A and B are shown apart, each in its own frame.
Chain A
Amino acid sequence: MPTLEDYIARVEGTCGAEKDVIVVFKFDKKDEAIARIIKKAKLKNTIAGIIYELAFEDKSFRLYASGKAIFRSIMNKEELNKLLSSLLLQD
């Protein structure tokens, strides 16, 4: 049974008033993570296949081919984990 730890290397709070959250995927799992997320979320825009602007439930976020995602307006760790679980772990 896969877990979030299988996909995620690190979660960083950003510096600045926006309080965004950056999720860094493990290098060897980033392509799989990106594929899963793109399959689940609604694609709003993509630039040259390296930046994906996505929406899932009431959240919009950006996913980068380098294996990072930036989420906005995340209230706490539980909310982030729930969102990531839906995107990465549920079929």
Chain B
Amino acid sequence: MDVQAVRQDFPILKRSINNSPLIYFDNAATTQKPRQVIDAVSNFYENHNANVHRAVHTLSLEATDLYEKSREKVSKFINAKEPSEVVFVRGTTEAINLVAYSWGLSNLGKGDEVLVSLMEHHSNIVPWEITAKLRGFTIKYANVKADGTLDYDDFESKFAKKTKIACLSHVSNVTGVINDVKRIAKAAHDNGALMLVDGAQSVPHIAVDAQNLDMDFLAFSGHKMLGPTGIGVLYGKKELLEEMPPFQGGGEMIKEVAFSQGKGCSIIWNELPWKFEAGTPNVGGAVGLGEAVKYLQVIGMDNVLSHEKDLTKYAVKRMQECSKVTIHGPSDLSNKCGIIPFSVKDLSSHDVALICDNYGIMIRSGYHCAQPLHQKVLKLNSSDRASFYIYNTREEVDRFVEVLKEIDQL
């Protein structure tokens, strides 16, 4: 992979922040957009913008064609059986909420259990906690080891006849640890439960094969994989999506809304995936996501992961030169994506992030929407996080370490 050539595609990387060249290390929060994605979205609004489906005019047909072609691209990218298993949503959060409300409210009740890990992002905890209060089911939390890796024995021991669904991140947004979701999916299926995978941090960084991993649901966001904000995906096995009631009601998700005398209103839901896409969808966003997928495919997902792993290994080694820096997470980097959580002795995470900001380096500070992992497992009030993507370089890591060394002197 030619990183310098890749960097040329990202206009924002030419920026300076606080009189320093921008170094963007907050890719686990959102990624920057290549010219190809920006142009695809602009081209859509400049030349093809119309509402999708139903209209017969040319623009609508063009918009529909672009929208559905993006679905096909995404479907192939994650190896879904067919495009109808790909539902466009706002992002990972909405995808998980869709499952929790649509599948959860219909299938979970008193005595049932949902199994969730303690390393989850809040978006894979809160929807279940909300629906548990509505339906009275129980949530069991599987432990995470002190180094941030999943306690597989604990997870598997918590399956019971009452377990209806297991929910797990494919990659932790705090530590970058890659979980063996295939193993947990098998355990779930052996116990008659379903498997939901939060792929927000995996689909952008590693080759994800939904069929091979045998996940029932997979949620991910476009903006974390070079696409626009406000577009994401819920993948679901067709037979499950077909049985689920709609999440939201409105236009687009129905085939027919008819009033017949004495019988009131009868509604026939639309086919998949449109049953779950009420209202006008984010067409421009979907087009941008399709272009982002194409961009990643040209690079190759194996190259994406290999680049990130190389950078992570290099960064960890260099960061260890800083006496006040503690790196959290597993010391074995072989099963990790490009995320490095760390703390600096005697400094709050926000101070460290603001000092880095002064030098044009964007890193994240806080809980990273994973308070349970910080408090119950890592025993931290907060942490800093550097997260890499295809356009980051060793030279940027060197500059980052220089700043950390200055912080060392504080």
Query: How far apart sit A37 and B40, CA to CA, in the bound complex (Å)?
Result: 47
Whether A16 pairs with B355 at a CB distance below 8 angstroms is: no
Name the residue in A17, A62, A64, A70 with the highest tally of chain B Cβ atoms < 10 Å from its Cβ. A17
Q: In the complex, what residues of B have CB within 8 A of residue A72's CB?
A: 348
The 0/1 profile, CB within 8 Å of B marked 1, for residues 14-43 of chain A is: 111110101000000000000000000000
When the two chains form their complex, are residues B354 and A14 in contact, meaning their CB atoms are under 8 A apart? no
Partner of A62, one of B354, B368, B382: B354
**Residues 36-66 (chain A) with a chain B CB within 8 angstroms:** 45, 47-48, 50-51, 62, 64-66
- In contact, B382 and A17 (Cβ under 8 angstroms): yes
B351: A residues at CB distance < 8 A: 62, 70
Q: Is the CB of B367 within 8 A of A16?
A: yes
Q: A47-B406, A48-B406, A66-B18 are in contact. Are A18 and B357 (CB under 8 A)?
A: no
Give the contact-size bracket for chain B. Answer: 20 to 34
Q: How many residues of A contact B (CB 8 A)?
A: 19
**A43 → B minimal CB distance (Å):** 15
Report yes or no: B358 in contact with A66, Cβ–Cβ below 8 A. yes
> Is B381 in the interface zone, CB < 8 Å from A?
yes
Point out the residue from B350, B366, B410 that lies within 8 Å of A47, measured CB to CB.
B410
Query: Which of the residues B349, B358, B406, B410 comes within 8 Å of A16, measured between beta carbons?
Result: B349
Chain B min CB distance to A81 (Å): 20
Residue ID in chain B nearest A64 by CB atoms: B354
Give the docked Cα–Cα distance between A50 and B368 (Å): 26
Considering only CB atoms, which chain B residue lies closest to A50 in the complex? B358
- Which residues of A are found within 8 Å of B43, using beta-carbon distances? none
Residues of A within 8 A of B138 (CB): none
Interchain CB contact under 8 A, A51 and B355: yes
Whether, in the assembled complex, B409 has its beta carbon less than 8 Å from a beta carbon of chain A, the answer is yes
Contact between B381 and A16 (Cβ–Cβ < 8 Å)? yes
Q: How far is the CB of A44 from chain B (nearest CB, A)?
A: 12
Answer whether A15 and B382 are a contact pair too, CB < 8 Å, given A64-B354, A70-B351. Answer: yes
A33, B366: Cα distance in complex, Å: 26
Closest 10 CB pairs of A and B: A16-B382, A15-B366, A17-B381, A16-B366, A66-B18, A14-B350, A66-B358, A50-B358, A15-B367, A64-B354
7 A/B residue pairs, CB under 8 Å, sorted by A: A14-B350, A16-B348, A16-B381, A17-B374, A64-B358, A65-B18, A70-B348
User: Given A15-B366, A70-B348, list of 19 further CB < 8 A pairs?
Assistant: A16-B348, A16-B365, A16-B374, A17-B374, A20-B350, A22-B350, A22-B354, A45-B410, A47-B410, A48-B406, A50-B355, A50-B358, A51-B358, A62-B351, A62-B354, A64-B358, A66-B357, A68-B354, A68-B357
Q: Could you tell me which A residues sit within 8 Å of B by CB distance?
A: 14-18, 20, 22, 45, 47-48, 50-51, 62, 64-66, 68, 70, 72
